Structure formats: structure tokens, C-alpha cells
Amino acid sequence: MLVVMQPNASAADIDKVCDEIVRQGFKPLPMPGAVRTAIGLLGDDAQVDWSYIEGLPGVANVLIVQKPYRQASREWKNENTIVEIAPGVRVGGSDVVVFAGPCSVESEAQILASAHAVRNAGAHALRGGAFKPRSSPYAFQGLGLEGLKLLALARNETGLAIVTEAMDERGADLVAEYADCIQIGARNMQNYSLLRHVGKLGKPVLLKRGMAATINDLLLSAEYVLSEGNPNVILCERGVRTFDSATRNLFDLTAIPVVQKLSHLPIMADPSHGTGLRDKVTPMARAAVAAGADGILVEVHPTPDKALSDGAQSLYPEQFTELVRQLRLIAGAIDRQLAPTPVR
């Protein structure tokens, strides 16, 4: 349920509505807007005496949110959410952002070379896995805590914000300590206890769509984070499994405008995992920005042929530099722009 206040409602009117929601046993969530304030009600609103609330001073009307994902829906909030993961790095709005880096943190030399390369090309954040969920238990699983420390070192040298994945609650606590944004990977999109946990940590969350998840599933997963009081959720399309083996996944470009119609949350696109093939990453990244994505997530490695994971889909630094140049042109053609590179 959403209580929409009149434009001239006083602070006392808003407080009275919040007090009444608490009196009925629920939690109010005031959301000041440019013109008026709305107050969300968290909980099973079927039990709320909304007719009484509608008659309180300053109340314009009461809306019943129909979508199962309440706080993620545009019924709950029509204005686009902008998530700031670090000073000057904002996802949503008119600027398009680029997060780039290797699949895995492999060594100090490798991650520093990657960080400098993507920053010089115009990236806004460094991505790289310290904890790696792999299909095979014998594949490289990441450096763990040491990888997080190396990512922090790269941030100190380049000024880039850090985005890295958490696989479990203990790992999420470590990621929150060292990184600027916690990534929840496709395999954990429906790990609801982990989603609740990262919601309580308060850090921005990059939530990837699961390999067999519908858009409704993705938005419901986002709702778990939002329901714990964390509004800073960034969605990410990264391809879904299909019967065709021509590419690693089916990169679902239609998810971008569909999500933007249904939800106020920003959405990025990951053409690296979406295709799994280096020569397909650039065209699909271009297409994602043209489709309206708020940013892209791209894997870049100094020497992809020697990468310990996902080398086949990682761009060479010079390919990434050319991609960023092209994305500037595409963003401009649709009345957007690439965000400026953060100041060190």
C-alpha cells in the first residue's frame, strides 16, 4: 500500500500518517518527492484499515500496489532510482557507466595492470572476482580475502570504485568491508537468505539475473534486498540459458526496456557473460547502450589467453579502449552520455 500525500501536506500530517501505520502494527517508509511525499507501508497490507488512513489530514489518496514486487515497482516509485556506489559514480539518470576488469583477481601485477588499463580507457569502476563460483570444483576459485586486498590496492592506485561478488553471508561481510558494491551473481540470484543479508549491510548491490530466471523472478529477488531497508539495488541482464549452443547464453536485450517499464531500479548489461565470445562482446555492448541500459559490465584482461577464468570472453585492453570510444557516440545519439571518469 502507498499513501500519497497532498503537495501542501505538513510535516505534522506526514508524522500523523506514519504514527497511524505504526499503531496498526506496520512499518511506514516515507519517500519525499519533488512535489509531494508518499508513504509506503511494509507488510501484509490486506489487514490495514486503509479507509481510516485515507481520511487523515493531508492525505490525497491511498494506492494498492498490485505487483508482487512492491518496492521495486513503478507503482511504488515512478521516478528513476539513481544508485551512487562511490563519490561521482552514479548508476541511473542520463549518464551511462562502464564497469570493467578481469573475471578473476589472479595476482597483484594482473589486477593493477587491468585497473590502469580500464581507467585510462574511461571505465568508472573496476570489476573482478575474489570469490569465484565455478561449475567445476577443480577450477580456479579465486584468491578470497587476498583478492579483496588486491582490489583495494587497485582502488588506491587508480581511484576506481570496486565491484566484486559475494557467494555467501560470510563472504558478503568481507566484500562489504573492502568493496564499494556487492555483486550477487546469477547462481545466487534466488539465494534469499543471502539477499536478505546483503540488504541489511547497506552497501549498494549489483544483482544479476539468474540463468533460467524470468524478469518477474529478478524483480522479486530485488525485493528481498529492498525489504531489508536497502534502496540501492542495480539490476543486471547477463543472458539466460537456451537450447542454442552458438553462444554461451542468450543475451536478452528486451529485458532492458521491459525492466525499465516495470521498475524504477537502474539496469546494466553484461555482454561478456551474455555471449561468452570475445568477438560478440563489442556488438552486444553497443546494442545494450542503444537499448537504454544504464551501464555495461565488461570483462577485460591484459593477457586473455593466460587468464585463469573466462579468457575466451575477455577483451584485450586495446579492444576495450575502442569499445568505450564507440559507446560515447552511441550514448550521444540517444541523448545520453558516458559519465566522466572519476577524479583520483
**Phi and psi, residue 42, nearest 5°:** -95, 125
The pLDDT tens digits of the residues spanning 22-72 come to 998 888 889 888 788 999 887 777 778 888 899 999 999 898 888 889 999
Residues 107 and 26 in one domain: no
The pLDDT tens digits of the residues spanning 261-318 come to 999 999 999 999 999 999 999 999 999 999 999 999 999 999 999 999 889 999 999 9
- The count of structural domains within the chain is 2
In whole numbers, what is the pLDDT of the chain averaged over residues? Answer: 93
Note the pTM of the prediction, 2 decimals. Answer: 0.90
The pLDDT tens digits of the residues spanning 102-148 come to 999 999 999 999 999 999 999 999 999 999 877 788 778 889 999 99
Domain CATH for 52: 3.30.70.1140
Residues 107 and 40 in one domain: no
The pLDDT tens digits of the residues spanning 196-243 come to 999 999 999 999 999 999 999 999 999 999 999 999 999 999 999 989
Grid coordinates of 160: 576506481
| Of the residues 32, 63, 94, the one at which a domain ends | 63
CB burial class (10 A; 0-12, 13-18, 19+) of residue 197? buried
- How confident is the model over 334-342, as a mean pLDDT? 92
Residues 87 and 206 in one domain: yes
Task: Answer yes or no: is 77 within a domain.
Answer: no
Q: How far apart are CA 79 and CA 265, in angstroms?
A: 9
What domain range is 95 assigned to?
Answer: 83-338
Domain CATH for 291: 3.20.20.70
